[in-house]
Amino acid sequence: VTLHLNPISSVHIHQKPLVFLLNSPLPLVWKLKTERLAPGIRRVFFVSLGSIVQFEKGNFSLSAETEEKFFPEKNEHLLQEAQKEYGAVTSFTELKISRNIYIKVGE
């Protein structure tokens, strides 16, 4: 699955830390494609067991962290856990089948 990350239109370059919880019932290769995200900013990708994140060429991977994590089976529990752990969830998307996911990040 390719995850496309771009800032919202009102933000020229996104310069804040991000945390993603990428859950799948089956192990996946998450391919990351980014545009206009500032280098050197901490970005964390938690993936379900057996999954990996592949980064594009460039220095984005130098400031990104990937960690395998056990996620709750039900999405409601995953959302509750994320809210408890991080205090806020700005986006939650559930897809049955997809090859591309487009996410706008920003204020």
Q: pLDDT tens across 65-102, in order?
A: 999 999 998 999 999 999 999 888 988 999 999 999 99
The domain spans of the chain are: 2-105
Q: Which two tokens stand for residue 54?
A: 């592949």
Q: Which two tokens stand for residue 30?
A: 């998450």
Please state, in angstroms and rounded to a whole number, the distance separating the CA atoms of residues 59 and 55.
9
What pLDDT, in 10s, does the model give residues 4-30?
Answer: 999 999 999 999 999 999 999 999 999
Please state, in angstroms and rounded to a whole number, the distance separating the CA atoms of residues 9 and 26.
33
What pLDDT, in 10s, does the model give residues 25-40?
Answer: 999 999 999 999 998 8
Is 107's pLDDT higher than 80? no
Please state, in angstroms and rounded to a whole number, the distance separating the CA atoms of residues 25 and 17.
27
What's the predicted TM-score (pTM) here? 0.91
The 3-state DSSP class for residue 61 equals helix
Please state, in angstroms and rounded to a whole number, the distance separating the CA atoms of residues 31 and 1.
6
Identify the bridge partners of residue 44 per DSSP, sorted by sequence position. Answer: 19, 65
